[in-house]
Structure 1
């Protein structure tokens, strides 16, 4: 605009804006019609003078830059003549706007030119008045406007570029209005959700969208009013306990309100995009005394419906022992049932299965998982596996599961009755039976003598004798471990041969009637000798008949009789070879005997020993063995 003002100023600088006739008439004519405006003019002149006093260089500025601008204007005229304005020119968006724009420029130009001339006229008038006499008026003369052609306007007016973003401003205003409107709407909805749950909110399965905390709690309370719980029990039809039967009612604890407080109202949009689900503890109350009465009234709590549980047990199944599982029974523990229902109702459960609730029913004391029961099963299965075969020479006796099963006891339902004492007694009886059939100690045998006689000989110190206690213990252990074996019984005494005549073919024969002895080995005599046996005149000195074995042998030794009260012995006799076999009776040398054999034992016999010549005693001493039977007979 500064350029425009300078341009216009330069264009009309020095022009004759005053008509001479008008000037004359103004100077000489009547100014009465201007009287009314004198005061306003004086104020305007005063303002003009003040302006010139404040800005004295303005005129100089105008003069200084007028010539310079004129030169620039001429250069611009040449440039504008060669410049074409088309649809692509950045100065105009649309050719249809040029006339209107130019019209505005002309109007603005005219207005500015008028103001400029007015100021110049006032200045010149002031200068003239100052040269005139004081009686002349200082009012301005009429202004004559000089018309200007359209071509001149094109040369002088600098085109004003159209504002390109006028449409954007309108759009921005509309957008701002919409934003404010949307903001207000958003704020209104935010305010709405300050005390309400968002859309898509569920609490305990209840749709709480757009509801206040109070409305939600009322909805929860309405569901509580219709509360009931179904009770399922063993061997009984389900029964229902209603809330009204136990005084069931809802009590607010503020948890719903706390959920609402945790909600941020300005996030209400999220409610339309997602679902939020909460579970709260429904704070309810009910009459526990009424609940106790309802539990006692349940069918499963009635005495006629109580069945005791049964323990698991071991039973025989075919050829092996198995565990029969325990039975649950239906014996209800009413106190525990009440506790379970109390907890279920407090948690707002709508059903409960007492049959699967721990500790509500009595349970079996012994279950199939019991380690002791499993050990018993395994032990008795070993019984069926055990097989012990006893040998008695050519004879055998076998004990196996088929016999052992008969030693066990079972009740009417097949349950194994553990009775260790009874089983132990069966074992002892079995061993005793073996002893009675195969022991030979203490029995009388028929013996064929060298002289051809057959005598009966009683053997109390020789033969087969089973150690029953030791054998029973070993047999019990083998049964329990399922041992399969073939063996002899445990003996306390052994004979040379099995069978009725257990003497065998190696033995010493002492014929007390003929006073002679023989040593048989493998059925052949390897040694014999005359002897002197006990003096038959004395009962306590006669050599007793029977079957014996050698205890030991010793050389030399001293033989002593019974000890007397004074500490001395009835006799003390030194011998070179001593071989005892029946208490204090044995073989030894007797150098004091005059002879051996015959009838010497009838009047000069020994105290019961078998006297032998020294050399015979030495020979026997060298060949006798401890396990060789010694058969004495008359």
Structure 2
């Protein structure tokens, strides 16, 4: 056999040494990567190349320790909950070992440098009891920072009814918030939004509530009326505040006027302004002002029932008007002094009658009133209204015809009397009438043409004694 050359021998030795070295390196690598992860291995986002199982577990614990849950609240403020607060700890479930076992250590030589990412369960525990403690420490649960929700409501601003919008507030539902935080932690979420999770307490009634908007519209409609009752020198007004006090809410949810209260208001208006048959202050033609006694039939009387009905209708229709009540009886002037400036005035002791029109004296005349000696005195001391107006009247009882007849108190009235030629003085004491006011023809004519039915006739005995002797005989025309 032919001997190898020296150089060949050397070459053979070198090759053998190289092969041994390669095999050694491979075996060493295989052994190394049986306990270490290949370079480029990423587990749960952590670079685990050249790391042992224990080192990877330590990294997983570190990663859990870095956990932060960011909480976004209603006002845009954020707060953070950390792993340390939660006392989070890694739980070894063998997942890392399993990944290493699945790694083919013998194939390390072809796997090195090829990055590979893995996901494995990174189980952990945390102290659930700390959730309540953490919540107690959060800014959003501090009493000073919490605004409770408030319902929308109806408000009277003085000129109208309006809806005050609800307040959303920032009060969290504690139980729902606890559950949301636990769910976020346990599922590994890094952020939660309390608004999106609908964790805030809500107002029960919103400004969009249909029933409340209907109620406001109804209230504003019913309180829109403004009704002024004009009594010439004074007024009585039904305004918003008055109407508001009359409203009540029925069982059907609708508002209505309390008719008894409306009637009571009208009754009070009548009490304040009715004058029919009441005392009257009167400034006499003789100078002094006297108080005429109650008992006459002149003045104003409000028809309370009809006025109440008209008022209710006006309010319901939202009318804005100046008006007058419905009257049963009317005087001639609606001022406090309802006698006005057109009237007839008679003084028994002076046997004088005056007639004024619009404040101007048109007649001053002597008269003859009821016969004092026979008990036919002319009633005095009050205000009466002219009840009728008749020309060429015939008094059948006495077969007397008069040109002008103005009765004002039953059969007592003002009239001319052709058979009487003298007037005034003391005639009435012994030769007076049967209660009427006998008047000269010319004066009677002027008065007849000046006054109308309903005008006041004031009769007083004297300025010192307003009410004179009461007649003992029934007054009869004549």
**Could you state the TM-score of these two structures normalised by the residue count of structure 1?**
0.37
Higher RCO structure, 1 or 2 (CA under 8 Å, sep 6+):
2
User: Which structure: larger Rg?
Assistant: 1
**Could you state the TM-score of these two structures normalised by the residue count of structure 2?**
0.48
Identify the structure with the greater strand proportion: 2
Identify the structure with the greater helix proportion: 1
